[in-house]
Copies of this chain bind each other. A is one copy, B any other.
Amino acid sequence: KELFSDFEKDYGIKHEYLDHEGVYNRAVEQGTKAAKKLRRLQKERNPGGKEIWPRGIYDASSFGIFPANSPFTIHITMFVDVLKGQGTPEQVEKWVGLAENCNIIGTYAQTELGHGTNLRGIQTRADYDRKTQEFVLNTPCLQAYKWWPGGLGHTANYANVVAQLYIDGENKGIQMFLVQVRDLETHMPLPGIDIGEIGKKIGMHAVNQGFLGLKNVRIPRDQMLMKNAKVMPDGTFIESPDTKLTYMTMVYTRCLIVKMDSVYLLEAATIAARYSAVRRQSPINPDDPEPQIMDHVTQQLKIFPEIASGVAYDVAAEQVLEYYNETMQEINNGKYTRMPEAHALSCALKVLCTTDACAGIERLRLACGGHGFMTAANIGNIYGNAVAAYTYEGENTVLLLQIGRFLMKSWSYLVEGKQMLNSVEYLRQGQEKNSFQKWDNSWECIINAFKYTAAHKTRIAFESFSERMMAGQTQPEAFNNSGIELTQAAEYHGRQFVAEIFCKAITGPRSANFSPPTKAVMETLVELYLVHITLRHLSDILRFIPLTEADVKSLQRRLEVALQKIRPEAVALTDGFDFDDRVLNSVLGAYDGNVYERIFESAKMSPMNKKPVQDSFETYLKPFMKSQL
């Protein structure tokens, strides 16, 4: 906390009142100052210990200290990681130090104007010139312009560029090339480099995302990252022995995204909970004073399930990260069986968390009524930063379809009696209709209901898919035409997983560390989470499991009881997340609860209020009012 004490407040004017250039220039100032400060603190307080830099910048950008994020985030994370992970020992030796010391600033240039998710469609090309032992990089058409890399606009002077490698005109697939894009002294774009920023976006305003066109840009042979595939001086191409490890990097990245978006969700929930404890509106009994709006049950329903959901995703991400580490150990020992399941789980988690977190953040903003519409509430900004993850690192629908493919494969294994991966063992329940245990209202029963429903959703998707093939469609056509049912099955694959993981984490051996009051609150959160998602997914559950009206009514009452139980704990619970006021950056959600004073103070700080009359009055408004329109 101390590290970031003076990072935004010393500027007097909030970032949202700066113009586009102003936001960027301030972000460069803040980022460079922050880096130096973190390094100094590292040396003073933690010499030789775990580095707080650069992780500190990543945290500051991702969780709100830098409310507009930072042009350095991609440099700190992906640029450095990719050099380390895909460079030869010589390349790591030569470049990683420069990058970690920020002597060069880099970015990761993969997505193009015309291609994102379908990586194979990338059109940027790198032709090997045997005579000079160089690669010649080109952007063959407008759609092949690199588009979106963070920091590429005006910050980076290097980029890891993803391109199709050609040797003697023959395509050798996608490789990575380290390209210098700006002069180290003047920062001017180098010859053949067409570079700039892509314009304003609805969030992440300081990330300085850029475009890049290349025209006959030459780089030496040793600037293709060659840990895996290699090009020899004479042009011989040596294929990568294994591409599976890069695949696992995506698993890891997706877990980080889930951590990030679950935190954003909990930030928004904290703001809405605090505001709802201060705002008073509409007496419940006509003669009583106006209650805190949190006493309205409909308001509780808007806030408390989001708290439960944020905690559930946070717990689930931890779990998948552990699973990732185990899988990586197995992979290092040459065992790859778990990989598809790690991939499917991380995809499902990423899709569900970003979907639920974004919808939740917006519900929480709307739960703050009109005041949530003010920029100073900061929930809009949190949303803008959180929602980017819905479409990046694998667009959500595309990921669901990949999970769908995994489920189809798993189902055919089941049908064929082959061995199943642990995470899809539950599919067996889909083989027999009307086989669900008696509904007994327990948590276990609810989790089983999700597994059972997920299994039957997979069965139905498989049946549709098979019917279409039998009717003469090709497999890909049948797959596309069954897309709706496949994505639904994929969603349930994630739902049953998160429900189980969350419940186990709170009831399992780890919960021994909880104090009794903490355990009680956490158990109420699990109860709320499970009952709430059950009621939300009755559409499918009721198709397969014959709940009675009394069962549904009982779930509804349990929902109401859980909300009631959380009501007195809600503010303490969100205080417990320990978000600094600077992180929440919200007039509605500060720790002291001085909502109205803060709103008013913030409005007074709007630059428009610095002068009582705006320039347009004399120029346009006065003549207009006098003109006898």
Chain A positions within 8 Å of B, measured between CB atoms, are: 16-22, 24-25, 28-29, 32-33, 35-36, 39, 101-105, 111, 113-118, 121, 142-143, 145, 147-148, 153-155, 184-189, 196-203, 211, 279-286, 290, 295-299, 301-302, 362, 366, 369-370, 372-376, 380, 387-388, 390-392, 395-398, 400-401, 460, 464, 474, 476-477, 480-485, 487, 535-540, 542-543, 549, 552-553, 556, 559-560, 596-597, 599-600, 602-609, 612-617, 619-629
Alpha-carbon distance between A199 and B608 when the two chains are bound, in angstroms: 8
Alpha-carbon distance between A325 and B91 when the two chains are bound, in angstroms: 77
Q: How far is the CB of A32 from chain B (nearest CB, A)?
A: 4
| Structural contact, B560 and A484, CB atoms closer than 8 A | yes
A116-B370, A297-B480, A370-B395 are known; give 17 further A-B pairs, CB within 8 A: A17-B20, A21-B614, A25-B615, A28-B614, A28-B616, A29-B616, A105-B625, A111-B370, A113-B596, A187-B613, A197-B608, A199-B606, A200-B374, A201-B375, A211-B603, A295-B480, A484-B559
| Structural contact, A606 and B197, CB atoms closer than 8 A | yes
| Structural contact, B105 and A556, CB atoms closer than 8 A | no
Q: 29 A-B residue contacts at CB 8 Å?
A: A16-B20, A18-B19, A19-B22, A19-B607, A32-B621, A32-B624, A101-B628, A113-B600, A116-B369, A121-B282, A142-B600, A145-B600, A155-B621, A184-B625, A187-B612, A188-B612, A198-B374, A199-B374, A199-B605, A200-B374, A200-B375, A202-B380, A285-B474, A296-B480, A296-B483, A297-B484, A372-B391, A373-B391, A484-B560
**Chain B hits for A617, CB < 8 A:** 28, 154, 187
Q: How far is the CB of A368 from chain B (nearest CB, A)?
A: 9
Alpha-carbon distance between A622 and B542 when the two chains are bound, in angstroms: 63
**Chain B hits for A142, CB < 8 A:** 596-597, 600
Q: Contacts A35-B629, A148-B370, A539-B538: A285 and B476 contacting too (C-beta < 8 A)?
A: yes
Alpha-carbon distance between A111 and B397 when the two chains are bound, in angstroms: 42
**Chain B hits for A387, CB < 8 A:** 366, 373
Q: Contacts A116-B370, A282-B398, A625-B103: A197 and B603 contacting too (C-beta < 8 A)?
A: yes
| Structural contact, B613 and A29, CB atoms closer than 8 A | no
For the complex of A and B, the 4 pairs showing the least CB-CB separation, nearest first, are A202-B380, A28-B616, A538-B539, A32-B624
A121 closest partner in B (C-beta): B290
**Chain B hits for A376, CB < 8 A:** 199-200
Q: How far is the CB of A72 from chain B (nearest CB, A)?
A: 10
Q: How far is the CB of A105 from chain B (nearest CB, A)?
A: 7
| Structural contact, A301 and B625, CB atoms closer than 8 A | no
Q: How far is the CB of A257 from chain B (nearest CB, A)?
A: 15
Q: How far is the CB of A357 from chain B (nearest CB, A)?
A: 13
Of the residues B186, B283, B602, contact of A199 by C-beta under 8 Å: B602
A279 closest partner in B (C-beta): B114
Of A286, A535, A613, A623, most buried by chain B (CB within 10 Å of CB) is A613
Alpha-carbon distance between A460 and B552 when the two chains are bound, in angstroms: 11
Q: Contacts A39-B629, A370-B111: A24 and B624 contacting too (C-beta < 8 A)?
A: no
Q: How far is the CB of A555 from chain B (nearest CB, A)?
A: 11
Q: Contacts A372-B391, A542-B538, A625-B104: A608 and B21 contacting too (C-beta < 8 A)?
A: yes
Q: Contacts A189-B612, A199-B376: A17 and B19 contacting too (C-beta < 8 A)?
A: yes
A21 closest partner in B (C-beta): B608
Alpha-carbon distance between A187 and B626 when the two chains are bound, in angstroms: 13
Alpha-carbon distance between A27 and B376 when the two chains are bound, in angstroms: 22
| Structural contact, B285 and A560, CB atoms closer than 8 A | no
Q: How far is the CB of A277 from chain B (nearest CB, A)?
A: 15
A213 closest partner in B (C-beta): B600
Alpha-carbon distance between A202 and B366 when the two chains are bound, in angstroms: 12
Alpha-carbon distance between A114 and B506 when the two chains are bound, in angstroms: 40
Alpha-carbon distance between A539 and B532 when the two chains are bound, in angstroms: 13
A105 closest partner in B (C-beta): B625
**Chain B hits for A33, CB < 8 A:** 620
**Chain B hits for A536, CB < 8 A:** 539
